[in-house]
Amino acid sequence: MPPPRRRTAITVRRATPLALPLALCLAAGLATGCGGSTATAQDEVLVGLVTKTDDNPFYVKMKEGAQARGKQLGFRVQALAGKGQSDNDSQVQAVENLVAAGAKAILITPADSKAILPAVDKARSKGVLVLALDSPTDPVSATDGTFATDNYQAGLLIGRWAKETFKDKPAKIAMLDLSPAQVAVDVQRDQGFLEGFGVDVKDRARIGDESDPRIVGHEVTDANEEGGRTAMEKLLQKDRGINLVYTINEPAAAGAYEAVKAAGLQDSVTIVSIDGGCPGVRNVAGKVIGATSMQFPIKMATDALDAVAAYLKDGTKPRTSDGLEFTNTGVTLITDRPVPGVPSQDSAWGLKNCWG
């Protein structure tokens, strides 16, 4: 990137006379996308959902899944969102608002896996169950549980696919990451891809310390299309011979493709990504993206809310998946160019299972 200028001033999208928790949110103006049921029953359980943004299809679908499952469980799900992928300040304020409003549980996709920790600690000290979705905190143990894609595995799958795809030709690799902050989801996807491709990453907990000459460089994208395009333009200025592009997510991949196409290189560059949104899967079908790792945001939200219900019933906390520090909600490689030794599904399957 560099990332766009962080904005802490928040715009409220709508204001309706709801129950006290939402009124507090609106009065303080701490996050965009304040939303939730209009029911005001005093015995309803308030559960907060704090995402990074409210316009990324991934979080839109997560919110829809959470609100649908919350209604089934008798919860009032109040959804809040910041202004961007790296906007920690808004998330801190949103968590504080939810605690003040009496939330029994908070589900959060941390924008900064370390900077959010004081707010999480305060919430938990007041008896609020805090569960991370999609992006873990650092350390993972800072929350009561995490429901997420195995982001390292997601990166590993596209890395192994790319390695097999490029086995008969040299690669020049562009790395389009999230932000300079080295947040967990960014690091895990980046390092998984590189290790899957056969690169010695040296320190798996850090982006950019590898010395493999095949890597042209790293740029950041803020995980959006504009950022992807700008990052790709910078790396193409450095080396027009780039023929393999890793992207943190599919919006960044779409932007990268626009830069590649503008340079007339679309027939010689392979792009890989992670997400599994319907636009991204359509880009696989359209040969814009060679392969993408599909994740399942609705499952993250619904499984987390089921865990909230279990905890409120008898104090049971979420169980982690075998060998992991979190509950793995699954990942599937989507490509129309399968390679030996890397399990995958085609874009037709992907379009039946995608989100957004």
**Between 219 and 19, where is the model more confident?**
219
Residue 356 pLDDT grade (very low, low, confident, very high; cuts 50, 70, 90): confident
Residue 74 has pLDDT above 90, yes or no: yes
Higher-confidence residue: 6 or 58? 58
Domain boundaries in the chain? 20-149+297-319, 151-294+330-353
**In whole angstroms, what is the distance from residue 98 CA to residue 21 CA?**
7
Average confidence (pLDDT) over 257-275: 98
Residues sharing a CB contact under 8 Å with residue 217, sequence separation 6 or more, in sequence order: 174, 175, 235, 238
Q: At what angle do helices 151-165 and 184-197 cross, to 10 degrees?
A: 30
Is a pLDDT exceeding 70 seen at residue 183?
yes
Question: In which element (H, E) is residue 154 found?
Answer: helix 151-165
Q: How far is CA 322 from the centre of its chain?
A: 22
CATH tag, 20-149+297-319 = 3.40.50.2300
The pLDDT tens digits for 281-324 are 999 999 999 999 999 999 999 999 999 999 999 999 999 999 99
Confidence check: pLDDT of 29 > 60: no
Q: How far apart are CA 31 and CA 345, in angstroms?
A: 38
CATH topology of domain 151-294+330-353: Rossmann fold (3.40.50)
Query: What tokens does 3 get?
Result: 């990332």
Amino acid at 234: K
Q: Is 287 left (phi over 0), alpha (psi -120 to 50) or beta?
A: left
The answer to whether residues 278 and 354 touch, using CB atoms and an 8 Å cutoff, is yes
Q: Is the pLDDT of residue 14 over 60?
A: no
Nearest to 65 by CA among 329, 351, 312, 297: 297
Cα distance between residue 221 and residue 209, in whole Å: 19
Residue 36 is predicted with a pLDDT of 53
Section 47-57 average pLDDT? 93
Report CA 353 to chain centroid distance, whole Å.
Answer: 18
What distance in Å separates the CA atoms of residue 228 and residue 176, rounded to the nearest whole number?
Answer: 7
**DSSP character for 340?**
T
- What is the rounded average pLDDT of the residues 44-52? 96
User: Element (H or E) spanning 159, and its range?
Assistant: helix 151-165
Complete edge-to-edge strand list for the sheet that includes strand 291-294: 215-220, 173-177, 244-247, 270-275, 291-294, 332-335
pLDDT > 60? residue 7: no
DSSP assignment string, 235-286: HHHH-TT--EEEESSHHHHHHHHHHHHHTT-TTT-EEEEEE-BHHHHHHHHT
pLDDT at position 56 is 84
Look up residue 342 and give its two tokens. 């890397």
Per the model's pLDDT, the better-predicted residue between 184 and 338 turns out to be 338
Contact 148, 132 (CB under 8 A): yes
Per-residue confidence band for 85, with pLDDT thresholds at 50, 70 and 90? confident
pLDDT at position 2 over 50 = no
First to last CA, the chain: 25
- Residue written as tokens 């992807």? 228
pLDDT in the model for residue 108: 98
Higher local confidence (pLDDT), 25 or 148: 148
156-175 average pLDDT score: 98
Confidence of residue 332 (pLDDT cuts 50, 70, 90): very high
Higher pLDDT, 32 or 356: 356
Average pLDDT, the chain: 90
Q: Give the pLDDT mean for 99-114.
A: 96
Q: Do domains 20-149+297-319 and 151-294+330-353 have the same CATH topology?
A: yes
- The residue among 325, 326, 308 whose CA lies nearest residue 317 is 308
pLDDT > 80? residue 229: yes
Position 34 confidence tier, pLDDT thresholds 50, 70, 90: low
Q: Is residue 234 pLDDT above 70, yes or no?
A: yes
